[in-house]
Structure 1
């Protein structure tokens, strides 16, 4: 089956997670993604455990559907090879510090002079401009600087980072959006362009309602643990057998919730009958609800909540989350054969199309495993 961008070649110089995860998604959509790494290895993520038969499981999660070749971009011969590759490439993706590509003589202006259709996507911590443009950026630092940690964690606890590299993950999605948009623009203009993506920009732009509340109302959101700054009841409750997330997001849902727990008197109670009032009297309301929720198990509550059309879900461990029937029904976990390490499992791309079957043809490549074949094929060189 034809793939959406199977005619696109991406030269991927990036490392760690944000940019490589973006190129992986593009690889899932059919692009030929060629990882270009230093012969000594340039991606420290290969060294991050835990390991499967000596292979980093962290590295595996961001590098399927790619090839890997070795080039030293500080070596004149290898730079010449890279510039030859530029002639037939569509995209260069990198996450060097701002200015480093220019220092190597490989900045956008040079690449554009060789191939005016090239799209150069640069991912950095702080962007190509500004006081911090030369500084390295790592996900936890971005979470801290963006204000995200100030609204994450227990009410009386310390600021907390999210349990996954959320700034990197969100940035990877903007890598995809940016590159696909630039490719579409190139269809119109015939010209490539430079894309400047900053982790801090992405995380700031992802503050959503928290930023809007401050910019438009001067409201400073606070850490509330598993509660919500703007809605109540909208939090985790402890049931007879463990925690359950319950989201009563509208006044209509609150009426349904009151009917469900036999507290219809709350429907017209001036303390609770609107969301604003419920937030004003949240401690009192949550105290009542918490006592009620402890009377049943999570499954008993989930059945009732679904009957009353109120969103709710168990607070699962990772093991429980991946074992859910819904995950199996959606066929989210795949298996792929690795050249050296045998069969390994992975989370599939979440995009599900009516007339496209995403292919998973290659596990994350070994360092330089495609160098000889690739260079022999495309440059008539033996790769040595």
Structure 2
């Protein structure tokens, strides 16, 4: 049951929201501190007016809240005081020269404010913040925040409007629920490592924490859907997203093959289990990836390679034939591709209908003319270090803004700002909280 005072306060906020512009998803009938500091967040940002309490660390949670921040949400990141904050600040080298924060941290924390609060002793501050936020995102082991009275059942009593998103390793129920969740472990358990790597090699992880990132993407979409539903109902809800379920969802055809045909998966390297040729080939100076997804594309590839007769060979005429005779065909193509450089092959395939691309090093990626032309890399001024470069949002709107505006914050950079401007604390109150080691 919601206490009467909280219920009345909530009803008033809902009424205020309903009298505001119908296009505003957030609860606020007033400008946030970020909006008053224009030009950071504007009405052109689709999530302008939405405020998020970010109690996440490491990758999946911060990645989720960064996506929402890019779209204009005001994200207030809660960090652990006196211990360096988010663990990824220390995940290095490399580190920034002045702030000493890891460059890893910079990748998933732009457009946020950082405040340092001791969760064990500062839960009343969290309650106050929750009342002024639309969404709370956390990625603690299930049950941990309940020890601090900061779980969903407690938060909904003081903030019934709150959308509370829990991001965990294995979900909130089941025998694995209490296990800590890490990308490579969840990727192991869900089978992704089993299907990744060279055919005769060991299981391998993707070069980035793909399960973490996909979980963040699922969570951000779920939060947007919950915000839309709250516009209709005026009521918040709890969202559960976990690494294991996300990883299993990424199995797509591999999972479907087992569920419906009993086919156990195997590793294919860069090759495809059902399409041939569809893989990387060694060239004179690197590797080139080719995808002939149809019989017509295969015939075109053979013409460009000056082996048109191969496309008419009964062993290779259809994709089914090519899959059945994979070893022979791939060996033939390997002998051809190794004779020229990747650049030469790309020039030869320039107007081809089938996709082709070099396996670029990271240096080559950022020096690529297309990457430079689309302006994906952004340089942001940093509060201590001169600047930091980030890969900006990959989504572009025709009528809205989605951008990298501010560098990832230093630990606790905005503690005083948020407490004074959002919660109305006095200088004396803040000093007292510091003396009591509740904030840093």
TM over 0.5: yes
The equivalent of 2:392 in structure 1 is 348
Alpha-carbon displacement from aligned partner over 1:16-74 (angstroms, at most 9, x marks no partner):
01001110110111111001112123411011112121221011111110001121111
SS in structure 2 opposite 1:354? coil
Give the alignment partner of residue 120 of structure 1, picking from 155, 164, 170. Answer: 164
Cα distance in 2 for residues equivalent to 1:192 and 1:355 = 28
Cα distance in 2 for residues equivalent to 1:380 and 1:67 = 17
Pair 1:33 & 2:75 matched:
yes
The equivalent of 2:437 in structure 1 is none
The equivalent of 1:10 in structure 2 is 52
Pair 1:45 & 2:88 matched:
yes
Give the drift of 1:169: 0.8
The equivalent of 1:266 in structure 2 is 310
Cα distance in 2 for residues equivalent to 1:343 and 1:101 = 35
Give the drift of 1:299: 1.7
Give structure 2 stretches of 5+ with no counterpart.
1-41, 432-440
Pair 1:97 & 2:141 matched:
yes
Alpha-carbon displacement from aligned partner over 1:220-268 (angstroms, at most 9, x marks no partner):
2211222111111111111222211111111111111121122222233
* Range that drifts further, 356-365 or 186-195: 356-365
Give structure 1 stretches of 5+ with no counterpart.
none
Cα distance in 2 for residues equivalent to 1:135 and 1:362 = 35
Give the drift of 1:208: 1.1
Question: How large is the RMSD of aligned CA atoms in angstroms?
Answer: 1.2
Cα distance in 1 for residues equivalent to 2:66 and 2:270 = 32
* Range that drifts further, 166-175 or 355-364: 355-364
The equivalent of 2:221 in structure 1 is 177
The equivalent of 2:112 in structure 1 is 66
The equivalent of 2:283 in structure 1 is 239
Give the alignment partner of residue 378 of structure 1, picking from 422, 429, 436. Answer: 422
Cα distance in 2 for residues equivalent to 1:297 and 1:85 = 58
**Contact preservation (8 Å) 2:46, 2:401:** no
For normalisation by structure 2, the TM-score amounts to: 0.85
SS in structure 2 opposite 1:209? helix
Pair 1:110 & 2:146 matched:
no
Matches within 5 A, 1:282-301: 282-301=326-345
Give the drift of 1:95: 0.6
SS in structure 2 opposite 1:34? strand
Cα distance in 2 for residues equivalent to 1:294 and 1:79 = 63
**Contact preservation (8 Å) 2:80, 2:116:** yes
**Contact preservation (8 Å) 2:123, 2:149:** no
Matches within 5 A, 1:223-372: 223-372=267-416
Give the drift of 1:172: 1.1
Cα distance in 1 for residues equivalent to 2:282 and 2:116 = 53
Give the drift of 1:200: 0.6
Give the drift of 1:310: 1.5
SS in structure 1 opposite 2:187? helix
